[in-house]
Chain A
Amino acid sequence: MEEFKVKIPKHHVPLGLPALDRFLRGGLPAGSVSEWGAPWGQGGRELLLRALGSASRRDTDARLLWISVDKHLNVYSPRWRALGVPLERWRFARVDRPVKELKPVLLSPVFRFLVFDAPRNLSPDDLAFLAIQARHNRQFILVLRDGWLGGDQGNVFARLRINCHYDPTSRRFHLTPIRGLPPGELWLSRQELEEEPS
């Protein structure tokens, strides 16, 4: 029972993008899982990369692991660097069953951020395990879904559930919270995502 004595951090950790941090009530909740509805091809990952790149630059100890399943798609690193991602501290893995094949990673606090990009084989037990590990290791675990999140179903272990995409007509990112934040929406232009001087 020792594990349950670990104090759940109540504070939020700012990402360093003021407009987004205000919307998230101070940043990402520490030691938690958040779930993002970001359909492929609709720009949601650009917003998340800007946010995670900024958070990763602010905390120079932080490493990030990006876990994907698609064997045909590769990261295009020049674009990631152009978004401010510190690639030297980011690692990438491609696995079908992330919880089974990357268990030593999930048991270790080496990576502060873990991103599961469109995972296909995450069972409810796996999601519960991720939530426990995130709390235990004070990690930020982000699960990106290739589709919109709905209010009536989904991951009960996620503290935050948000849909996000880029709207080419208004040239702004659009965020809609599903859980963990008051109802509402946020529209953000690329200029509004400018980083806060640290």
Chain B
Amino acid sequence: MTYLAVMRPRHAPELQALSSRLMCWKEDVWLVDLSVTTSYWQAQAARSGLSLTNLWRSLLAGLLAEDGAAALAEHPFRALLLARQLSGRRLFGLVSETERVGAGLWRDISWTSFVDVAEEILPHFAARHDARGNAPSFRQKLGLMQRAMLRLGVALPWQLAEMEPLAMRRRFGALFGDIWQWCFGNGAPQDFPWTSFRFETPPRVDRSLEYGINDWQTLEPWLKEDLDRLCAVQTWNAQERLTALNWRLIFDDLTEACLEVRFRHPHGLHKELGRHPTALKQCLYAYEALPRDPTLPAPPLVAWQLEATERLTPSAANRSLFGEADERDEALVELENKLRVPLLSYAPRQDWVPEDSQVFAVGKQAQDAAPSPEAEASLDALAATRPLFLYGKPQAFDPKREAYELRFLERTMSKWWHQGGAGKTEPSRDYYRATDAQQRSYWVFRDTAGKWFLHGVFA
């Protein structure tokens, strides 16, 4: 659950205690992007012995007005719809789309709520000069959709959950296609017109160099000094943690480049005063990734600005909730912040389809809903016959290319009803262990059309 929609917060700036990324959706309605701070909250939840949702619930208790409502969802649009539904039912507090109450509320969302929230998105698209923000076009498509739903007798959006977003887009335009994707497909939050809100001017320092430099060794001491100066800016509380820095570079030919230096976990910049190994490493990675013409020497830098754009501001009330930090967890968090590449974690998921039977997370502990003991036992038995490694996408396989010995393992039903109806996915797969002359064993399957695929390796 990475997005939180909050209706009627007690005092909106206090929401910065939850995440450094906020968006003002409309008056008294705010969106909070929790993805940048989830790892931090996971660690706090572990320390306080609460589930992540219950931790956020207890934190929100002090941040919401008496009649405030909040909803957690994987997509900001779904969070908004759910919060609207909660508030419309005169229910208050926090609801999550993965909990039973949240799932029930989600199924009951009316066309009126759906259209209201859809209409609220128009100014956000319009502010970006995106054609999807065109109000007359939206109303025309809306009229078409309302007549179609009336004719079909579809009382609630949920009843059409299986409808393809592409079909929605063809009939009712790009905006409704996107919204359908966000609500009932796997819509990426990147398509959402997110605009971060700033309550105050972020701490910033400027550097003008007397001569141009372009090698990291010369640049690093100046940057370290600037990070110290940034910590000394009066508006920055030492308790605040940094999630993103903006580093604007100005070259001697007066061209500019803006680098976003993002931290995987909220980083305490003040803790590394005078050294800043973590921030310097991330600055170096961003600097090295700067697009350059390899045939030309790098242009010298003559000035830069360093701005602490996203900060998490833990409130005193929050801090009292937690015990002492686990040193081992802190060490891992600090290490992950120093790396160029992310570290992944995996967790099994209750699903028989190989592609859907695990979740992975970057920079935080992968988690899935608590498994039921009956399902867990049967899925564990199934897993014991499967390989250690899977290909991201099954690859074409020719069983006649070599003398493979094939041993049947299982017949697996695919979720043919999910992916655009019949014809797109074969209804079942027969899995075999294919062993070649060198005793290398592979996990292969034959679909109902008779095509063979390589899916894994018994390593």
* B341 interface neighbour in A42, A75, A94, A168, Cβ under 8 Å: A94
The answer to whether residues A108 and B380 also contact, given A65-B343, A87-B347 and a CB cut-off of 8 A, is no
A104 engages B339 (CB within 8 Å): yes
Output the least CB separation between B292 and chain A (Å): 19
Q: Is B429 an interface residue (CB 8 A)?
A: no
CB-contacts of B371-417 with A (<8 A): 379-380, 382-384, 386-393, 395
Identify the stretch in B90-98, B103-111, B166-174, B439-447 within 8 Å (CB) of chain A at 4 or more residues.
Answer: B439-447
A74 engages B389 (CB within 8 Å): yes
* B459 interface neighbour in A44, A81, A94, A167, Cβ under 8 Å: A44
* A76 interface neighbour in B335, B358, B366, Cβ under 8 Å: B358
The answer to whether residues A41 and B358 also contact, given A63-B332, A92-B345 and a CB cut-off of 8 A, is no
Q: Is A93 an interface residue (CB 8 A)?
A: yes
A95 to B340, CA, bound (A): 10
Please, which residues of chain B bring their CB within 8 A of the CB of A43? 441, 458-459
Output the least CB separation between A143 and chain B (Å): 15
Please, which residues of chain B bring their CB within 8 A of the CB of A94? 341, 344
Q: Is B331 an interface residue (CB 8 A)?
A: yes
Please, which residues of chain A bring their CB within 8 A of the CB of B384? 79, 82
A81 engages B440 (CB within 8 Å): no
Q: Is A6 an interface residue (CB 8 A)?
A: no
Please, which residues of chain B bring their CB within 8 A of the CB of A104? 281, 335, 338-339
Output the least CB separation between A43 and chain B (Å): 6
A78 engages B441 (CB within 8 Å): no
A81 to B346, CA, bound (A): 10
Output the least CB separation between A110 and chain B (Å): 5
A11 to B459, CA, bound (A): 30
The answer to whether residues A40 and B340 also contact, given A49-B388, A63-B332, A78-B383 and a CB cut-off of 8 A, is no
The A contact surface, by secondary structure, is mixed
B457 engages A101 (CB within 8 Å): no
Q: Is A77 an interface residue (CB 8 A)?
A: yes
Q: Is A7 an interface residue (CB 8 A)?
A: no
A101 engages B380 (CB within 8 Å): no
Please, which residues of chain A bring their CB within 8 A of the CB of B203? none
Output the least CB separation between B386 and chain A (Å): 5
B457 engages A168 (CB within 8 Å): no
A44 to B388, CA, bound (A): 11
A40 engages B459 (CB within 8 Å): yes
CB-contacts of A90-139 with B (<8 A): 90-95, 101-102, 104-105, 108, 110
Q: Is B354 an interface residue (CB 8 A)?
A: yes
Q: What residue in chain B is nearest A169 (Cβ atoms)? A: B439
B380 engages A73 (CB within 8 Å): no
Please, which residues of chain B bring their CB within 8 A of the CB of A101? 339-341
Q: What residue in chain B is nearest A77 (Cβ atoms)? A: B346
Q: Is B357 an interface residue (CB 8 A)?
A: yes
Q: What residue in chain B is nearest A65 (Cβ atoms)? A: B343
User: Contact residue range for chain A?
Assistant: 35 or more
Q: What residue in chain B is nearest A45 (Cβ atoms)? A: B459
CB-contacts of A12-52 with B (<8 A): 38-46, 49
A165 engages B388 (CB within 8 Å): no
Please, which residues of chain B bring their CB within 8 A of the CB of A38? 459
* A41 interface neighbour in B328, B339, B393, B459, Cβ under 8 Å: B459
A102 engages B339 (CB within 8 Å): yes
Output the least CB separation between B283 and chain A (Å): 14
CB-contacts of B9-42 with A (<8 A): none
B344 engages A79 (CB within 8 Å): no
Output the least CB separation between A97 and chain B (Å): 10
Q: Is A80 an interface residue (CB 8 A)?
A: yes
A110 to B329, CA, bound (A): 9
The answer to whether residues A75 and B388 also contact, given A40-B459, A43-B458 and a CB cut-off of 8 A, is yes
A108 engages B354 (CB within 8 Å): no
Q: What residue in chain A is nearest B385 (Cβ atoms)? A: A79
- A residues with CB within 8 A of B: 38-46, 49, 61, 63, 65, 72-82, 87-88, 90-95, 101-102, 104-105, 108, 110, 165, 167-168
Given contacts A74-B391, A88-B347, A104-B335, 15 further A-B contacts (CB under 8 A): A41-B457, A42-B438, A45-B388, A49-B388, A63-B328, A76-B358, A77-B347, A79-B383, A79-B384, A80-B388, A81-B383, A90-B345, A93-B341, A105-B335, A168-B439
A-B contact pairs, 11 of them (CB 8 A): A40-B440, A41-B440, A42-B441, A65-B343, A74-B392, A76-B390, A80-B388, A92-B345, A95-B341, A110-B328, A167-B439
